[in-house]
Amino acid sequence: MSFLSYLRVETGRIFRSRIFWLAAVLTLCAPIAGYLFYFPATLNHESSIGLWIANPALAGTFGGTVLFALLTLYELDRVYRKEMASLTDTIVSTLMLSSSRTLSLLLAAAAAVVCAAVLYLPYTLYRTGALWDGGYYLFAYLGLMLPTVWSGILLAAALYQFTRRVELSAVLLTALVLLSMSQYVSDQFLLRWINPLVPWCSDYFGNLRVIQTGLYSRLLWLLLSASLWLLSLPAIRKYGYGLGRSFLKGCRKIYLPFTAFVLIGCGFGMYLCQPFINHSQMEYASFSSHPMSTEPKLTIDEVEITCKPNVMTGTQQGTATYKIFNLEKEDVVETFIMNCGYTIDKVTANGETIPYTDLNNDLNFEKQIEVTIPPGYVTLVMEYSGMPQVWNGLRGSLTGTVFSPEFISLEMCDFYPYHSFIEHGKLELTLPEKLIPISNWVDIEVNLISENTDGTRTWELEPPRGGYFGNLYAAEYIALETETENISAVFYCPKKQQAAMEEVNIQQILADVLEYCSAHYGTPPFAEEGKLRLIEAGIPAMMGGYAVDQTSIMSENTFYEKIYTASAETANSPEIMIHEIVHQWWGLGKNLYDDNTASNGWSSEGLTTYTTYRIIKEKYGEEYAKEHCVDVWQSQADYLKNNFYFRYPEYLDRLPEQYAARVRGSVDSIMMYSVVPLKILKAEKLVGGEEKMDEILKGLFTNQNLNPITYADFLDACGLTEEALELD
Amino acid sequence: MIKIFLYELRRILTNKFFVGLFIVTCIYSWQTLSGDIITGVANTAPFSAWSYGLYLGKTAPLLVITLLFFVTFLYSRKEKQVQSITSTTSFSPARYCLLRCAAMAVGYLLLSVAVIGISFFFYDWVFQFSDFGNLLLPILLILLPTFVFFLGLGMAAGRIFPPILYGIMLLVLIFGQIALPPVADLFGIQFYQSYPLTLPLGADGEPAFSVPASFWIGKILYLAAGGLLMFAALFKKKRTY
């Protein structure tokens, strides 16, 4: 009989076995856990794609893998359990039998997964409605679930063939499952073999990075499990030999170990050369730790950049042309920084190719490139390409610069080799025609310069002389205008979300916040001439929000419809949106800072958090505000007060730096976001209530003094002392 | 008798599973100390009895799994085949079984010493802390009841149906993850994280190490249950036909 005949017989037998049907039915039921209690894609749990596609598919992935792995052990042990091995071994080669059996299990698993995908399709279509994403659905079931179930089958078969003991194989498999689910690998997408890392799902801005990392990790595990399985084939016991002798005999078929080692090599190659996460340290380090040159040896009058992103692959090709004057009379080695994912293809000076060194010294998002620049006036051209990488410190959230068909996010250093002495720059960016670029800096001119025949449009961005490019977001944006008595604002949200946003009357919600702040503290300086800009950024780029000059940027999870239609009991995220708008008053309108900020936590965050609490209190009531703001601050402050390292800071110095940085980061955050708001709340009581405090804050905000508001200024305005605001 | 004991001990200590689990336990212990314990538990010092209790609670499941592997040796197919020969000797089967239990206890003890030794080294290296006297109570509270209960449970289960032992191993791992009341919290993982937060703080800002009656009662019940199960497994004759 040929291999195909054995495969046909084995597949028929598997499909007739009751235990297979039990495993298949349970696999079909497994996604239900994703609707009820298993929510691995939880960073933004309100996302429809996450709720109705990712979570059920990931539950099916886990359940299906465990079930088919157990089925594999059961099926492979069958001939030994029934003591038929001595008979079958005389009829058919063990290698042929084991291969056809494993392959038939792979086919059976594929049938079960396809059935699951078909079964849940109508319900998913119904629940996701207009947000349905067919590509993501296929990825979830056929790109994540199927390869994982296959890996489980191959691993189980390999373990059984090595150990020839069902219980031991089950224990080893359990250990592998637990390892994959442990906290040690929770943020490493490549090491999670049974529970793929899907940290977020985007309803409006695409999921390219999650899809790419998901497929890459599945391929890696398929290679590794297939190699282990191939390596286990010679270990199948024969002639009554034990593991060692059977393996040695089996290895005479040299193609088996050879192919296995080739696959293992490919797997390790994929692990070491993964293109998504850089190799930076996990703790954020400031630019000062870069050995950048501090004394200018040259001036860079201008840079013209041409970027052509390939949104299907998430990569880009760019050319940066610098007009440089080298002040020295000799060659100068100058350092540029750029995203770690790019490689320099060519560098020319006045048309001549010149040497450069990629230092590959990843730090945060960037690495350094050293270029030798000849003396005098030089036109330096750098050609570069690649996929922007996620900073290692964010490897668990997979957020950062991204090129995708639905969304592009670029930080300053993420689209060209950057140098701090550049006087003026111009960026030419070719994007799919539906994407509209918006910079986070209001004074950057964004002009459409051409509509191309290939379905793209070319935009030109030009910051004022001496200005920065800032961060750039491009999506299918529409602008929703909001007018209040004193301020007007424009909210950029994806076109796909327009109906939902209008349904919840987002313009009125935004107007309420703007009205509250202007009525209580005064109008911010930009209100007379311009508009406040609110930009919704995709979750692939960031979680949370930030504010810069006249612009507040918030991630899409701040604007899910559910948040604004929820009752006061369930609402939880308008705080982020309110917080980032309030920063236009505290932080950008008036900065709060003093020399003791590192120790007393005094910063714009404290007053912004307090104001957010006041708006929440007005909107949702006192009880809600107390529970969601004051009680949370108090518990954080209590935690800090009782924390061992806060009580005994001398022990912090004894900790290894990574742990000390973790503790210090936590202390700083609690001081800024919890302790200072509590002190302001205490001050509010001491000065005579909310109205009095509003008067004081209005006085501070409208003060013409351009210096930052210090803690001492605040205390003076309140007529209080530092001791009076100490917390109990 | 000592010769048999030493022989059984050597069988356990040179077993490849013991060696593998020993290495895994040592690595896991170090990771637990440098990952979870180093920041302190429930606001207490990383070297407080509370933090130490959590450390032992987290490593105890691995010690138990090793112990249950030892127990599987008693009930393996090969062992049963040999039993027909050993049972014909003048040596009492119960005494022989007790000797093997003693060998298992020594194996468990050695693994426990490794776990404790790693923690002492860690505390001395990172915090220059060497006052280990106050850590004795958590050691006894976790390691002793855990050993007696799971040895008894494993022997009883192995006697009834040996594959149950592997199911118990799985349950041990799950047991360590779920929140249980103090009376049932054998490993104390929940207890050591939450109970100190309810206690008044001492002059040094740390809650003194004290254990409520329900926790003591739970440990005594586990010890008694383990003892009874062991007794039943050792002395109840299995019906044979």
Q: Give tens-digit pLDDT for A274-320.
A: 999 999 987 777 655 444 455 667 888 889 999 999 999 999 999 99
Written as six digits, the tokens of B201 are 């703080």
Q: Which residues of A touch B163 (CB under 8 A)?
A: 167
CA distance A725 to A396: 39
Nearby residues of A528 by Cβ (< 8 Å), 6 or more positions away: none
Tokens linked to B240: 């044979």
Residue B212 lies in a domain: yes
Cα–Cα distance, A446 to A426 (Å, whole number): 10
Nearest-CA distance B1 → chain A (Å): 32
Cα of first residue to Cα of last residue in chain B, in angstroms, is: 31
How many percent of chain B have pLDDT more than 70?
A: 97
Residue with tokens 């009834």: B160
Query: How many Cα atoms sit within 13 Å of B93 on the Cβ side?
Result: 15
Residue B85, pLDDT score: 78
What pLDDT, on a 0 to 100 scale, did the predictor assign at position A479?
93
For chain A, the residue count is 728
Residue B51 domain-assigned (yes or no): yes
Summarize the confidence of residues A519-527 as an average pLDDT: 83
Whether residue A644 and residue B163 make contact (CB cut-off 8 A), yes or no, is no
Mean pLDDT across B139-146: 93
CB contact under 8 A, A174 and B173: yes
Q: Token digits for A527?
A: 């209100």
CA distance B206 to chain A (A): 8
Residue B125 lies in a domain: yes
The pLDDT of residue A171 is above 80: no
Distance CA A86, CA A442 (A): 79
Residue A571 confidence (pLDDT) above 50: no
In the predicted model, is pLDDT for residue A380 greater than 50? yes
The Cα–Cα gap between A643 and B45 comes to 8
Please write the tens of the pLDDT for every residue from B189-207: 889 998 998 988 888 888 9
Pick the residue from chain B with its C-alpha nearest to A662: B39
Q: Of A161, A217, A198, A170, whose CA–CA distance to A67 is shortest?
A: A170
Amino acid at A150: W
Q: CA–CA separation, A344 vs A380, rounded Å? A: 13
DSSP letter for A328, please.
Answer: S
Spatial distance between the Cα atoms of B172 and A565, rounded to a whole number of angstroms: 44
Q: Note whether A596 contacts B: Cβ–Cβ < 8 A.
A: no
Residue A46 has pLDDT above 80, yes or no: no
Closest in B44, B128, B163 to A644, CB measured? B44
C-alpha neighbours within 13 Å on the C-beta side of residue A45: 10
Binding-site residues on chain B for chain A (CB distance < 8 A): 31, 34-35, 38-40, 43-46, 126-128, 163, 166, 169-170, 173, 201, 205-206
Minimal-distance CA residue of chain A relative to B17: A168
Burial class from Cβ neighbours inside 10 Å (0-12, 13-18, 19+) for residue A203 reads buried
What per-residue confidence (pLDDT) applies to A43? 66
What pLDDT shows up at residue A382? 96
Cβ distance B43 to A644 less than 8 Å, yes or no, reads: yes
Among the ranges A110-124, A577-591, B22-36, which has the highest mean pLDDT value? A110-124
Tell me, yes or no, if A84 comes closer than 8 A to chain B by beta carbon.
no
CB–CB contact A645 B40 (8 Å): yes
Contact state of B43 with A639 under an 8 Å Cβ cutoff:
yes
CB contact under 8 A, B46 and A644: yes
Note whether residue B132 is domain-resident.
yes
Q: Is A185 exposed, middle or buried (0-12, 13-18, 19+ CB in 10 A)?
A: middle
- Number of Cβ pairs < 8 A linking chain A and chain B: 43
- Beta carbons of A558 and A45 less than 8 angstroms apart: no
Q: How far is A260 from chain B (nearest CA, A)?
A: 24
CA of A568 vs chain B CAs: smallest distance (Å): 30
Strand A488-494: give its sheet, edge to edge.
A477-483, A488-494, A532-537, A551-555, A545-548
Q: Using CA coordinates, name the residue in chain A closest to B42.
A: A643
The residue behind tokens 């919840």 is A504
B45 contacts in A (CB within 8 Å)? 644, 648, 651
* Integer Cα distance of A249 and A243 in angstroms: 10
B166 vs A contacts (CB less than 8 Å) = 167, 170-171
pLDDT at A563: 66
Closest CA to A578 of A678, A510, A675, A626: A510
User: Residue A607's CB: how many other CB atoms inside 10 A?
Assistant: 26
The better pLDDT of the pair A641, A460 is held by A460
Instruction: Determine the distance in angstroms separating the CA of A235 from the nearest CA of chain B, rounded to an integer.
Output: 18
Cβ-based neighbour number of residue B240 at 10 Å: 4
Tokens of A538: 């995709």
Q: Are strands A315-326 and A376-386 parallel, antiparallel or unpaired?
A: antiparallel
Q: What is the mean pLDDT of residues B1-30?
A: 84
pLDDT confidence bin for B236, thresholds 50/70/90: low
pLDDT number for residue A289: 44
Distances (CA, A) of A628 to A437, A573, A631, B197: 36, 11, 6, 21
Q: How far is A174 from chain B (nearest CA, A)?
A: 8
Decide if A385 contacts A317 (C-beta within 8 A): yes
For B123-134, how does the pLDDT look when each residue is reduced to its tens digit (9 = 90+)? Answer: 999 888 988 998
In percent, how much of chain A has pLDDT > 70? Answer: 95
Instruction: Supply the pLDDT for residue B2.
Output: 83
In A655-684, the residues whose Cβ lies within 8 Å of chain B are: 655-656, 659, 662-663
A255 burial via Cβ count (<10 Å: 0-12, 13-18, 19+): exposed
Structural domains of chain A, ranges and CATH numbers in brackets: 3-272 (no CATH), 292-474 (2.60.40.1730), 586-725 (1.10.390)
Query: Is residue B91 pLDDT above 70, yes or no?
Result: yes
Q: Which residues of A touch B205 (CB under 8 A)?
A: 642, 644, 647
Number of domains in chain B: 1
Read off the pLDDT of residues A191-200 as tens digits, 9 standing for 90 and up: 999 999 999 9
When scoring A74, A171, A658 by the number of chain B Cβ atoms within 10 A, the one with the most, hence best to mutate, is A171
Average pLDDT, chain B: 86
CB contact under 8 A, B205 and A639: no
Partners of residue A386 on adjacent β-strands: A316, A342
Q: Which domain holds residue B164?
A: 2-199+206-235
Q: Where does the pLDDT of residue A384 fall: very low under 50, low under 70, confident under 90, or very high at 90 and above?
A: very high
CA-CA-CA-CA torsion sign (A148, A152, A153, A154): positive
Residue B222 domain-assigned (yes or no): yes
Q: Collect all residues of chain B within an 8 Å Cβ-Cβ radius of residue A171.
A: 166, 169
Confidence of residue A10 (pLDDT cuts 50, 70, 90): very high
Q: Could you tell me which residues are beta bridge partners of residue A546?
A: A553
ipTM more than 0.90? no
Mean pLDDT for chain A overall: 88
Helix (H) / strand (E) element for B140: namely helix B136-160
Average pLDDT over residues A252-267: 94
Contact A247, A230 (CB under 8 A): no
- Residue B240 placed within a domain: no
3-state helix, strand, coil in chain B (%, to 5): 75, 0, 25
**Does position B81 have pLDDT exceeding 80, yes or no?**
no
Is B241 within the bounds of a domain? no
Is the CB of residue A176 less than 8 Å away from at least one CB of chain B?
Answer: no
Q: Which residues of A touch B206 (CB under 8 A)?
A: 644
C-alpha span between A19 and A26 (Å, rounded): 11
How far does the CA of residue A1 sit from the closest CA of chain B (Å)? Answer: 36
Residues 6+ away with beta carbon under 8 Å from B205: A642, A644, A647
Question: Per residue in A639-683, pLDDT tens?
Answer: 888 888 888 888 888 887 767 877 888 888 899 999 999 999 999
Highest mean pLDDT among A344-348, A464-468, B166-170: A344-348
Q: Looking at residue A186, what DSSP letter applies?
A: T
Q: CA of B46, closest CA in chain A: separation in Å?
A: 8
DSSP state of B201: P
Is the minimum CB–CB distance between A648 and chain B shorter than 8 Å?
Answer: yes
The pairs formed by B29-34 with CB atoms below 8 angstroms and a separation of 24 or more are: B29/B55, B29/B59, B29/B114, B29/B115, B29/B118, B29/B119, B30/B118, B30/B122, B31/A184, B32/B58, B32/B59, B33/B118, B33/B119, B33/B122, B34/A656, B34/A659, B34/B122
Region A440-454: mean pLDDT is 90
Residues in chain B: 241
Q: What is the pLDDT of residue A60?
A: 96
Cα dist. A659→A260, A299, A649, A665, B48 in Å?
A: 40, 41, 13, 10, 18
A645 Cβ under 8 Å from any chain B Cβ: yes
List Cα–Cα distances, B13 to B4, B61, B147, in angstroms: 14, 19, 17
Residue A714 pLDDT more than 80? Answer: yes
In chain A the first and final C-alpha atoms are separated, in Å, by 84
